[in-house]
Chains A and B, each alone.
Chain A
Amino acid sequence: MDLLKQVMEQPLDPDYAVLARRGEGSSRHRVLLAVVLVALGALLAVAVLQNTRTAGARATERSELIDRIQDQSARQDQLRTELENRQEEVRRLRESILGTKEDKDLQVELDRLDLLAATVPVKGPGIVVTVDDSPGDTSKGRVMDVDLQQLVNGLWQSGAEAIAINGHRLSARSAIRGAGSAITVNYRSLSRPYRVEAIGDPNTLQSRYIETAGGIWWSSLAQNYGMRHDIAAASELNLPADAGVGLRHARKGS
């Protein structure tokens, strides 16, 4: 605190008072004084000029970077679509090659695994849970990634067999993350409202979900913050496949 006190109470160099008391004249070094002042003025002018000159360059750089980011995002989407197409092709070729009885069993097994691993589209009955931010108070009534995580947890707990959020299928490697003010699933940003589709037993899925921790969490959010939490049954849901990121280190175990 001493430093702050000293800075605030003694802003003037105490040497001024000391030398004044000693009675030294104030114009002993006129030339040097003039030189220093010219240097100060020049320094100021140079700094201001540089700042205004580079402002334009910085703005251009920024917009260029933004363009590059958008280009790369578009390319990423393109690559993802291509990946999905190739995987579909691989599956078709596989089916056409496998012909004998053994192969048929293999095919059935592969189909089952594909379904579980979320690499093929699925359809079936289930429920659709639509959630959204509260219409009024947006600071406390925003849907966060934890809220979606709780919701999805509750659905898995109540026996859901496949879940998709806004058309993005959840697989074993899907993460629901918050990035800035957006929520991302499978590294893709979601936009409101969030539509969570779950395939499962239509008779029990809804009632079991409401009693899970996720269902209770969302009931209290809807009650206390006015956030939207609508549950509707659906007779046929079509969930897309998840192109996935593949496995690099995990190998078949024993």
Chain B
Amino acid sequence: MIPILGLVLGIVLGIVLEPGLPQFLQPYLPIAIVAALDALFGALRAYLEGTFTDRVFIVSFFSNVLIAALIVFIGDQIGVGSQLSTGVVVVLGIRIFTNAAAIRRALLHA
């Protein structure tokens, strides 16, 4: 219950308060979202398989977001920002899809 409520509360707060992100972080927002989604789907799958621990979710959330943003930031500095961003999105996307497939299997079979 808490996770769903927390997520919904977060979305509502985001729409209502509209917090502004500092200007230099704006370009990394989409990548951070994809990384966060990857952590979220991983957590969902672990929960359905019975192996969920909030500690692992919290750590993977922060590390995913930070590392993805860092990779794109370094890519921007050396000039391959868009290519690295594409690479990160592809890898995270594959992980999200695989986890989503496992979630679907767990939900529809159980």
Cβ of B78 within 8 Å of any chain A Cβ, yes or no, is no
Contact digits for A41-78, partner B, Cβ 8 Å, 1 yes 0 no: 11111110110000000000000000000000000000
Give the number of residues in B that approach A within 8 Å (Cβ atoms).
47
Name A41's closest neighbour in chain B (CB-CB). B10
How far is A8 from B102 in the complex, measured between Cα atoms in Å? 12
Of A32-40, A172-180, A203-211, A229-237, which stretch is located at the interface? A32-40
SS of A interface (majority) = helix
Cβ of B94 within 8 Å of any chain A Cβ, yes or no, is yes
Q: Which of B11, B58, B94 contacts A11 (CB 8 A)?
A: B94
In contact, A12 and B55 (Cβ under 8 angstroms): no
Of A21-29, A92-100, A107-115, which stretch is located at the interface? A21-29
User: In chain B, residues 93-109, which have Cβ atoms closer than 8 Å to a Cβ of chain A?
Assistant: 94-96, 98-99, 102
Name B97's closest neighbour in chain A (CB-CB). A11
Name B9's closest neighbour in chain A (CB-CB). A38
Give the number of residues in A that approach B within 8 Å (Cβ atoms).
35
Cβ of B46 within 8 Å of any chain A Cβ, yes or no, is yes
In contact, A38 and B13 (Cβ under 8 angstroms): yes
In contact, A45 and B58 (Cβ under 8 angstroms): no
Cβ of A247 within 8 Å of any chain B Cβ, yes or no, is no
How far is A46 from B13 in the complex, measured between Cα atoms in Å? 10
How far is A161 from B62 in the complex, measured between Cα atoms in Å? 74
Q: Which residues of B contact A33 (CB under 8 A)?
A: 2-3, 6, 54, 57-58
How far is A24 from B62 in the complex, measured between Cα atoms in Å? 21
Cβ of B50 within 8 Å of any chain A Cβ, yes or no, is yes
Which residues of A line the B interface, CB within 8 A? 7-8, 11-13, 15-17, 19-20, 24-30, 32-47, 49-50
